[in-house]
Amino acid sequence: MVKILNVVGARPNFMKMAPIIAAINRRSSEVSQTLVHTGQHYDEAMSSVFFGDLRMPEPDITLETRSGTPTRQMARIMPLFEEVLISQQPDWVVVVGDVNSTIACALVASKLNVRIAHVEAGLRSFDRTMPEEINRLLTDQLADLLLTPSPDADANLMREGIPAERIVRVGNVMIDTLFQQLERARNSTVLDELELRPREFAALTLHRPANVDDPESLGRILFAVSAIARELPVIFPAHPRTQARMREFDMVAPVGVRVIDPLGYLDFLQLWSNARMALTDSGGLQEETTALGVPCLTLRNNTERPITIEQGSNRLVGSNPARIICAARKILSGRVSYAGRTPELWDGHAADRIVEELIARSSHKLSGQQHRHRVTAATEKGYGSMKSEHLLADSHCV
């Protein structure tokens, strides 16, 4: 019996872990699992409601470390997680994504010689001012098994010297969750509650420190959004961090921008999937809009998910108002029409491949040869030199 300890800490982790938990349950005669919630996101709107929406079990262990600066948060997580590992003695610690909980728990597992599997490995923005980039880089160096969503991620890891036998492309677990929950989301009444009609509004999310902690950057984005809101309503489920910064900077939402509290997964899926466009600085939403063909404008100068731009569903627009407004007007004019795209292995079965890999490697049945072939093929395509800032939409809009 393979013993797996799954770690979640923040809302993006829940969407990635839910299909893995379900896949393990389907192999319960071979695998046992324990779910640890570090408590990085702990309020009802940012955490608990997602467990119900995603039909995830309640955590077996909750550390309740709460918020704080990144270093203080990690300092609280690590000794508590160390106690859990010593008690549980798992074969694998599975961490997902790039939040503070991910690197904190990976560090502890590495010190205690517990094997680490990193889901969503290899993503790079090439911007080390992003806290998530440091978390990604360090977690991938520590991980024994790097489970990637796309060829560019394979190439990034190879370029950083990760041995090919540790890299396995499994696909995108976010898309597993999207496909699994799409029909349930159709039963959401959020559009009726907000008195919205499909394709007659835009959806906005904004939470990254580079955008919301800098009053000039936040002001530029809100200025651009105000221009878009003159042409169609903008619905803004505002992250608590963003709401706090707007109060601190004495900023109010522009006319036509409707600020609402954060939504649960199903309500938010129903909202953005029916939007005319999404404006976001989220990584996951770039992927989800790609799969469903919703035009997405990413309010960043780089992305760790360049495949979403290659597929044609996403545009980098940064915080430059002229670029944002121009790209939005192209969508509104009908000159941009995106179809849903599903890159290789974004088929709803990534979690099953992850569990199969964990079982196989636990019993030493897999040589890794097939994975070396996959990575080499990805590198030959030239993904290794792709940097997303080269794909900014300014040449079309400024």
The CATH number of 183-342, from 2.40.128.110, 3.40.50.300, 3.40.50.2000, 3.40.190.10, is 3.40.50.2000
Q: pLDDT grade, residue 68 (50/70/90)?
A: confident
Q: pLDDT grade, residue 10 (50/70/90)?
A: confident
> Could you give the percent of the chain with pLDDT greater than 90?
79
- CATH 3.40.50.2000: which residues of the chain? 2-172+346-384, 183-342
Q: Which residues contact 395 (CB under 8 A, 6 or more apart)?
A: none
For 119-140, what is each residue's pLDDT tens digit? 999 999 999 999 899 999 999 9
Point out the catalytic residue in the list 37, 41, 207, 390. Answer: 207
Q: What does the buried/exposed string (b/e) look like for 333-358 if buried means 16 or more CB atoms within 10 Å of the residue's CB?
A: eeebebeebbbebbebbbbbbbbbbb
Told to judge if 207 belongs to the known catalytic residues of this protein, a careful annotator would answer yes
Are the C-beta atoms of residues 225 and 204 closer than 8 Å to each other? Answer: yes
Q: pLDDT grade, residue 82 (50/70/90)?
A: very high
For 293-327, what is each residue's pLDDT tens digit? 999 999 999 999 999 998 878 999 999 999 999 99
For 183-207, what is each residue's pLDDT tens digit? 999 999 999 999 999 999 999 999 9
Average pLDDT over residues 223-235: 97
Q: How far is CA 295 from CA 85, 178, 211, 277, 391, in A?
A: 43, 17, 21, 5, 16
Average pLDDT over residues 99-125: 97
Domain 2-172+346-384, CATH: 3.40.50.2000
Q: Which residues contact 65 (CB under 8 A, 6 or more apart)?
A: 38, 39, 40, 73, 76, 77, 80
pLDDT at 367: 41
For 347-372, what is each residue's pLDDT tens digit? 999 999 999 999 999 986 444 444 43
Q: Which residues contact 261 (CB under 8 A, 6 or more apart)?
A: 45, 237, 238
pLDDT at 41: 65
